[in-house]
Structure 1
Amino acid sequence: MLRAVVFGACLLAGGMAAAQQGETLADVKQDLAVLTVELRKLRAELNTTGAPSVAVGGSALDRITAIESELQRVTAKTEELEFRIGQVVRDGTNRIGDLKFRICELEPGCDIGRLSETDPLGGDAGPAPVAAQPAPPPATDALPFDGELAISEEADFRAALEALDEGDYAGAEMLFAQFRETYPMGPLEPAALIGEGRALEAQGHTREAARRYLSAYSGFPDAKVAPEALWRLGDALGALGSVSEACITLGEVALRYPGSDAVSRATASRQSLGCQ
């Protein structure tokens, strides 16, 4: 707050040229030099004289009376300074905005219309800004779950999913594992198992990935991601050389989950493995 007072007072003390036409960058620099000098003067005024103005002595009643009087004086002074600070900040902020406008006029290619709004000096002075509304949580329709989720739970899952989509497989594996530890047996548990399995498979850990897919399918056969888990399990079994088991598993996708997107994927996997 003190910095806001000092800097704002400098802006008030410095005389800025009113004329805008014909102004050069040197004129702007001159204004800044004036402000620097005024800042040094104000810094000198901030130094104490070394002699306190409060003296408390005498009887207990006298001391109480003196303290109450001093408190009233300090309170009144604080209110006065608060009012002055508000004025200084508003005027200083306007002057900073004007300075930005003038500099932009002098710089080739500067778009005045794209200048950002000047923040109040000190960050929190002046009238309290309207509280920003928190950003709404991401839509849950893209998640493999239809119910309500805690904001932190959804955010953690999306962070793991984002790492997977960006190819950070080690990071995704860790994030999905941490998610399952933080929200054990939650509504996104089967999807987290599949995500962790995908991250493992991308790193060449196919056997561990198959275990995650099996856990997702066997533990949550009615989940939205169960068809995908069964398809990925069959695909992983084929990659591990268990072609017969893979063909049987992939064939179960159409039988157990007809109409799901995983059916076409399982069919393609069966064809690539030469299943009969």
Structure 2
Amino acid sequence: MRWLLLSAALLASPAFAQDKAQTLADLQAELAKLSADFNGLKAELVQSGAASSGAAGGDALQRMDAIEAALTRITAKTEEIELKVNRVVSDGTNRIGDIEFRLCEATEGCDPSNIPETPVLGGGDTAAPAAAAPAAAADPAPAEDAPELAMGEKNDFDRAKGVLGQGDFRAAADLFATFTQSYPGSPLSEEANFNRGEALAKLGDTANSARAYLEAFSGKPDGPFAAESLLKLGQALGTLGQTPDACVTLAEVGNRFPGTIHATNAQVSMQGLGCQ
């Protein structure tokens, strides 16, 4: 199972998810400019009567034809990129679901039929980023800079974190699990899932800790806990005996987060597993 290799196409390489988003934004900005030019030129022709004046309007009409052709070309290119992005996100999500299923099989008492539907890789709808791009560019709302928390959300998180710090790992794992269920989409979800993984690892529950690390990473692949979550997911897979998947996952740490302590630790873990 090689879901991380494919998710690299969308998330890992600085050239896919980020550059694709920039490409879409650039194309959409060009579309908007061309549309404005086209409409402005058309209005100018109507006002001046040049559209019916023969040679006087010939040059303007040629410009309109050129703009219209450019609009058609860029629209087609934008749709092509959106399809590619959506296809990779969909496939990456399916592969994450596959690893969740395999982790469930390795977990005593886990019923694969009760595994919830895997959320879209990185959160949100696969089609949403492209559709929302123009609005994001025109109105850079600072909502993400200072996310609002639900009433009691921060207190519940701090309580779970405090229990973890006290060494009551079972209670901490349960509290973090309750937190992620009570506040879906919380800006603290990534850290909550990571901390749940830490608590479960301390309890020796490797399979469930791996699932928690996977949820932390897949929920926010560029978040502050992404590198360590991916590292610990790979290490947990190695402990579970899933060496090929562990090697791919650990290699991805170096690909995504080069030069970090997590990349160095991933290399050490790969050597211990005998990864090629």
TM range (shorter): 0.3 to 0.5
Which protein is bigger by CA-based radius of gyration? 1
Structure with more of its chain in helix, by fraction: 2
Query: Which has the bigger relative contact order, CA under 8 A and spacing at least 6?
Result: 2
Q: Normalised by the size of structure 1, how large is the TM-score?
A: 0.44
